[in-house]
Structure 1
Amino acid sequence: MAKIPSSNSPQMNNPNGEPQSMEKLKQASGYIIGAILLALIGYFGWNYLQNSGMKADTVAADKYAAIEAANDELLGQPEGNAEASKKLNSDIDALVAEHGNTVYAWQALMIKSRNAVDANDMKTALAALKKALKIDLKDAGLHSITQLRYATVLLASGDVDAALTQASIDVPVAFEASQQELLGDIYLAKKDNEKAVRAYENAWSLLSKRHEERPFLRLKLENLGISPKPIEPAEQVVDVEAMQQAQLEGSNEINPELEAAIAEMEAAASEDAAQ
């Protein structure tokens, strides 16, 4: 994720006199927003493929699978690999050139932009995101992810006004909390604390309705002198009788894929507990 250079980092009040903690908070802001957007990339990209009425482009799918595998291998190398990175970008460019209007091209460009940000190559990251914005997938969610990611990288690169323009474009309801938090970061970079507080509070209010806590957003508000109301976790009401009945009715029709997924989750949970 993008690390905002200190010269362009938002300046926040620090009433407790903890400059090192505040610097870490400012650096982490871009990472948190970026992490949220990357999670949405995977979710909405998968749903797009599942819900699209178009026949899957198997050639593009195979090329993207190879790109994803190469990227995973590259990320596993502590020191990185310049040649492997160059080849990966070349493969991404080839996929975009040949299958530029597919979700696979969009996903590949998102990989390219993320890697460029990690390498502090904002020019390459912005160029990749600009191409991704031009892909018309007829999906507002994917477009909003790209838009907010583009605004985040513009902010990280120091182009605050352009970041504000991009972040201010309307997005679907599901993205409004992330949009408002990003706007808060941008207003802080512009040293407009009043608007920053308003945007952060808007984000907190939207998250409260979803019962979704964001600790770093809380810290941003607290460092601006605001103590946000705690967000209560959502109540999980389980109809035990209905669940038992459903289990009885479906006992002879077990979905193998679902069973395998549950087993994998249980194994992961056991591994985490062991660690």
Structure 2
Amino acid sequence: MSDHLTEEEQLENLKRLWKEYGTTVIASVVVATAGYFGWNYWQDAEQQRLENASNRYEELVTAVGSANAPQADDAEASKATVSHLSEQIKSTASDSAYAVQGAFFAAKKAVESGDLTAAEGELQWVLANADSEAMKEVARIRLARVLAAKGDFSAALNQVSSEPAAGFAAEQAEVRGDILRQNGDSAAALTAYEKALESLTGDQQQRRMVLQMKIDNTKPASSEEPSA
């Protein structure tokens, strides 16, 4: 009899606990289940999004390759195709490396077709959206050249006047020298070229030769004449 009453008491305790906590348990199970399926859905959607971006990027690379072929003579159509594919990637995967590389390709095609404003826009997009400091530095250097080509030397120099990302000191100084020389400031250009030469690291003999040639061509004529 004692055992039977104990079972009834246990049953009553279970009923009381279910009444008090049953709703919470069910809610927890529902939340956990929804979270599990929601996470899986998000992962599937994310994978599909990046796969679509990858496919568009492959199309873009193919379009760029076709445009560089000897038989391709419609530069404007090529630029439009590359720009369209780049915009598709940006609209769906702006946080991906595909979008950044696509913008670089679009900027290159825009420069080749003479549309410096479009090239500037693409490079500004990279600066605003790229996560990598190296990619941002590449964008700044290319943007500086585009702005200089547009005649906006002040804005161009602003792009290459701050502390460069690691590994870009020589390239930044060289571009600054090119812009200064283009703007008629040979003395400042010479200083920039010399800094670029000093900043080179490793075995870069060809670049050293190019920079030395720029230094020699920028020096005042009198400084190259032997003293009497």
Tell me, yes or no, whether TM beats 0.5. yes
> Which of 70, 80, 83 pairs up with 1:86?
80
Contact 2:153 2:183 in 1 (8 A): yes
- Does 1:198 pair with 2:191? yes
Counterpart code for 2:81: K
Question: Aligned letter for 1:211?
Answer: D
Look at both structures and tell me which one has the larger radius of gyration over its CA atoms: 2
Which amino acid in structure 2 is aligned with residue 167 of structure 1?
Answer: V
Match of 1:59 in 2: 52
**TM-score with structure 2 setting the length:** 0.69
Alpha-carbon distance between aligned partners in 1 of 2:75 and 2:169, rounded to the nearest angstrom: 38
Residue 225 of structure 1 deviates from its aligned partner by 2.8
Contact 1:147 1:167 (C-alpha < 8 Å) held by counterparts: yes
* 8 Å contact from structure 1 (residues 102, 135) kept in 2: no
- Name stretches of at least 5 consecutive residues in structure 1 with no aligned partner: 1-53, 228-275
RMSD across aligned C-alpha pairs, in angstroms? 2.2
8 A Cα contact 1:122 1:153, kept in partner: yes
- The ranges of structure 1 where at least 4 consecutive aligned residues each deviate by more than 3 angstroms after the TM superposition are 81-85
For 1:144, the equivalent position in structure 2 comes to 137
Match of 2:27 in 1: none
> Where do residues 1-12 of structure 1 align in structure 2 (5 Å cutoff)?
none
Counterpart of 2:214, as a letter, is: K
Q: Distance in 2 between matches of 1:174 and 1:123?
A: 28
After TM superposition, give the deviation of residue 84 of structure 1 in Å.
4.4
Aligned match of 1:157 in 144, 150, 156?
Answer: 150
Deviations 1:17-56 (A, max 9, x none): xxxxxxxxxxxxxxxxxxxxxxxxxxxxxxxxxxxxx979
Greater relative contact order (Cα < 8 A, sep 6+): 1
Partners in 1 of 2:162 and 2:55 — Cα distance? 34
Corresponding residue number in structure 2 for 1:75? 68
CA contact (8 A) 2:79 2:113 kept: no
What is the aligned counterpart of 2:101 among 100, 107, 112? 107
Q: Which structure dedicates a bigger proportion of its chain to helix?
A: 2
Partner of 1:210: 202
1:127 to 117, 121, 129: 121
Describe the superposition over 1:108-139 as per-residue Cα deviations: whole angstroms up to 9, x where unpaired: 010010011111110111011111111132x2
Q: Which amino acid aligns with 1:109?
A: A
Paired residues in the alignment total: 172
CA distance, structure 1, for counterparts of residue 59 and residue 176 of structure 2? 36
2:161 maps to 1:168: yes
What is the alpha-carbon distance in structure 2 between the residues aligned to residue 223 and residue 171 of structure 1? 26
Shift of 1:85: 3.5
CA contact (8 A) 1:160 1:190 kept: yes
For 2:90, the equivalent position in structure 1 comes to: 96
Cα distance, 1:222 vs. partner?
0.8
Q: Which amino acid aligns with 1:123?
A: T
TM superposition shift of 1:90: 1.5
Helix, strand or coil for the counterpart of 2:218? coil
Identity across the alignment (%): 26
Alpha-carbon distance in 2 for matches of 1:90, 1:81: 14
Normalised TM-score (structure 1): 0.58
